Amino acid sequence: MEMLLTDIQADTRERFAAAVTAHRHAMYRAARVLLDSDADAEDAVGEAILRAWQSFGRLREERALKSWLLRITVNCAYAHHRKEARVTYTDDLEPLAGGAEDPHDLGLWDAVCRLPEEQRIVTVLFYYEDMPTAAIAKTLGVREGTVRSRLSRARDRLRTLLKED
């Protein structure tokens, strides 16, 4: 009996590790578009992995694993953003001459990162993670029509941003 329990625990650990390994890039991208730095995104992903492990036994459908991990990651990123929003490190700010915008080349990823937060997250989940709108709606806790309208506004804004460049 003891051997059987150990085997089940090992199998659970292996399944969880495989899931995190398979979806770690998606988790990072989801956190990164919501947070201002790589370090903050890594912190949010780490917190998400911890929370996911603590709740892994309650996951009902293995096929919903990616959406479930992304929802936890997005929630952790939002929580991290709220916590960090109270602190501004002026040492990290690099003022541009005359307050002008940075004139460097604007690539697609840079344009996506300049979208408003609600448009940015749906864009990344839809185009970079190939999630259907229904799964995005479930992940973000909004209606599917809301996801579609945010995607539409994001596409319009991206056209404008990329034409400006």
Q: What is the pLDDT of residues 97-149, one digit of tens each?
A: 444 444 444 588 889 989 999 999 999 999 988 899 999 999 899 999 999 99
Range name among 1-10, 12-21, 59-68 with the lowest pLDDT average = 1-10
pLDDT band at 165 (very low <50, low <70, confident <90, very high): low
The number of residues in the chain equals 165
73 or 81: which carries more pLDDT confidence? Answer: 73
**In contact, 20 and 49? CB cutoff 8 Å:** yes
Say what the pTM is: 0.68
Say how far apart CA 150 and CA 70 lie, in whole Å.
18
What pLDDT score was predicted for residue 93? 47
Q: Residue 90 and residue 72: Cα distance in Å, rounded?
A: 30
d(CA 163, CA 18): 41
